[in-house]
Homo-oligomer: A and B are copies of this chain.
Amino acid sequence: MIKKYTYGKPFQTESVVVDIAAEKGQPDHGNIDLTAGFSYTFGLEDSDIVYGLGEANRGINKRGYKYISNNADNPHHHEDVYSLYASHNFIIVSGAQTFGLYFDYPSTITFDVGYTKCDELHIFCDSADLDIYVITGDSPYDITKQFRKMIGRSYIPPKFAFGFGQSRWGYKTPEDFETVARKYRENHIPIDMVYMDIDYMDSYKDFTINDDFGDFSEYVENLKKDNIRLIPIIDAGVKIEEGYDVYEEGVANNYFCKRADGSDFVAAVWPGYTHFPDVLNPEARRWFGAKYKILTDAGIEGFWNDMNEPAIFFTPEGVSELKKAMKKFIEKDETVDDVWGISGMAAGVANNPKDYASMYHNVDGEMVRHDKVHNLFGYNMTRAAGEALREISPDERRLLFSRSSYIGMHRYGGVWMGDNKSWWSHILLNIKMLPSMNMCGFLYTGADLGGFGCDTSRDLLLRWLALGVFTPLMRDHSCEGTRNQECYQFEHIEDFRNVIGVRYRLLPYIYSEYMKAALTDDMMFKPLAFEYPDDRIAAHVEDQLMLGNEIMIAPVYTQNAIGRYVYLPEDMLLVRFTADGSVEQTEMPAGHHFVEVPENEVILFVRSGKCIPVVDVAECVADIDKTTMQLIGYKNSSYMLYDDDGYTREYDLEKNCVTLNKK
């Protein structure tokens, strides 16, 4: 049961796809106070668990901290970070009272989940212009499924996108990308994609290719012959440069975001000063989306949209103020406060709230100040691409994912979990985010394996890959200036070959579970509590996940560990993909276990009475040989396998499913 409540004049985010008439009066759960902005409070019981918030910091259970929806380009995901790249305002209280809340509000909104007061959920924002959806149901899982139906079907990528991809900010020349492809193939480490970060462009200009590439179509085609697809990045900012057609068209047609005085808003990002396409304006969105055709025409089948919070390094106005302050600083004898002040101001020119309050969108002819709708930018940039790619390629799916997002964007593309770090704690954060993301519709997702920022280590990358084996987006990505992070850079390459190989052995299962989840508005990754609602221990497990209906995963995420503790809510079969390519199976009783896991192995647990398909290793998705499929699991079990050509945009769940029976 979903009830909608409308306060003030909400901005239409189009995150919800069904029409629900607004109720009168107050929601059944919690209290709303409109005396200063908007405030919602609900008294939490000690045993209540709070789920949700999609791409957010901390636990599956969000209790005990504060989360602020305010899409931010902040690559330092410490424990004390309140805002990441996305705003996913769906939350479920589970306990004495169980209900879901969706706050459809595109500006800054804070979720204080028993942090300031340990027994109070407090959700508040400055302006009381929003829609609230209150969802009741049998369980958090049931509520989630109702919510998912309400926000529409999740994005579905082509099948190749379930292969492994290698990325690094710093690959620039044709040789750079070829080297990566060659090294993977030579070492027989499976791979399907090489990602192109900003340096493939000419001066960071969107939809251009640097001259080194010559005939880019031919280049793309040659790699594709080897079953490797290039996936270029597209940034939000369009370089200001005379003669650059995207820039000139945008200016001529008023397709860029504006200043209050009607001039084009200017912000520096990678290319230097740029304009932002006004993706909240449908006409500008169509125009920007159509530009992707420049690259699809060259054979490109996938994109990642970046810097679309949008990130701002600085604006001319911000630098002008900084220069004024510097002049004053130069002229006087410096105090500690002076030095810290100017240093703080210099750092503060980036992503400055003042700049976001100086930028405007044209929505149906009305000027809308950006900070009032800030969290919708990445969503609509990716919507631009998603809508365009459907037009450009009506019969074939295209890979598309974004850094920044809002609920609603899940219909157009996936997300990666942003610029994380080579930290062991980020493996765990990756685990915890998966079910929360799924709750909010984001199924195609994954973290930068090995970590983006900072220097990785061999063991960290291996352990992270052993989680990445299970995430739809499986990509090793790293930052310029950090240690080289391709699998072939490390000792004992065979270990990497084995771990990534397991992904390809499981790919039919992972693809099948993804498709079933997408086509039935279900989750692919679930907290244990969603499957075992009466199990008190399971309710508090934060480092194991249910994947589909058949398996549970429990990755190792601590350095120098020889294994880890695993809680089995029921009898399960431990399946171990060993370093020599064999598959060991051990029946384990329900309860607590310490399971040893060498760095070069992958483990999973098959639930009682279930089985999963496993195929022989292939070096790319296209080479997977379905005739090698065997079922691993319990006797007399069956599995419903979904499969299709991997490109079709029209999905027939029944026709594409087949039941496999294990003797």
Contact = CB atoms under 8 A, between A and B. Distances in A.
Interface of A: 49, 58-59, 61, 63-65, 78-80, 115, 117-119, 268-270, 272, 313-314, 319, 323, 326-327, 329-330, 334-336, 339-340, 342-343, 346-347, 349, 421-425, 454-455, 457-460, 490-492, 536-537, 540, 542, 558-562, 565, 567, 592-594
A454 B558 CA distance: 24
A59 B565 contact: no
A378 to B, nearest CB: 21
A80 B423 contact: yes
A593 B593 CA distance: 9
Contact of A421 (B78, B118, B336): B78
A330 B339 contact: no
A336 B268 contact: yes
Contact of A347 (B347, B558, B593): B347
Given A330-B326, A559-B58, A115 B457 contact: yes
Given A61-B560, A559-B58, A567-B594, A313 B339 contact: yes
10 contacts: A64-B559, A80-B422, A118-B458, A268-B334, A314-B334, A343-B343, A347-B347, A540-B561, A542-B560, A565-B565
A480 to B, nearest CB: 13
B562 A540 contact: yes
A264 to B, nearest CB: 18
B330 A314 contact: no
Contact of A335 (B65, B80, B272, B425): B272
Contacts of A330: 323, 326-327
Given A329-B323, A457-B64, A562-B540, A313 B336 contact: yes
A63 B313 CA distance: 38
B565 A64 contact: no
A288 to B, nearest CB: 23
A482 to B, nearest CB: 10
Given A118-B458, A339-B314, A458-B118, A540 B565 contact: no
A565 B592 contact: yes
A267 to B, nearest CB: 11
B119 A491 contact: yes
A394 to B, nearest CB: 39
B339 A268 contact: yes
A651 to B, nearest CB: 38
Contacts of A565: 565, 592, 594
Integer count of this chain's copies in the complex: 2
Nearest to A47: B562
A346 B349 contact: no
Contacts of A335: 272
A425 B425 contact: yes
A425 to B, nearest CB: 6
A161 B515 CA distance: 62
B540 A560 contact: yes
A361 B272 CA distance: 47
A340 B350 CA distance: 10
Contacts of A460: 64
A559 B118 CA distance: 13
Contact of A343 (B64, B346, B542, B592): B346
Given A61-B560, A343-B346, 19 more contacts: A49-B560, A63-B560, A78-B78, A78-B421, A78-B454, A80-B422, A80-B423, A80-B454, A117-B491, A118-B490, A272-B336, A313-B339, A313-B340, A323-B330, A327-B330, A347-B347, A425-B425, A542-B561, A565-B592
A79 B425 contact: yes
A245 to B, nearest CB: 23
B118 A491 contact: yes
Nearest to A82: B455
A347 B348 CA distance: 12
B594 A594 contact: no
A593 B326 CA distance: 61
A347 B343 contact: yes
Nearest to A327: B330
A454 to B, nearest CB: 4
A79 B424 contact: yes
Most buried by B among A59, A80, A272: A80
Contact of A592 (B78, B334, B594): B594
A649 to B, nearest CB: 40
Contacts of A269: 336
B455 A80 contact: yes
Nearest to A65: B457
A82 to B, nearest CB: 10
Given A326-B329, A491-B119, A64 B560 contact: yes
Contacts of A542: 558, 560-561
Nearest to A115: B457
A381 to B, nearest CB: 21
Contact of A459 (B118, B343, B593): B118
Nearest to A423: B79
B349 A339 contact: yes
A519 to B, nearest CB: 33
A58 B558 CA distance: 10
Contact of A59 (B63, B117, B457, B559): B559
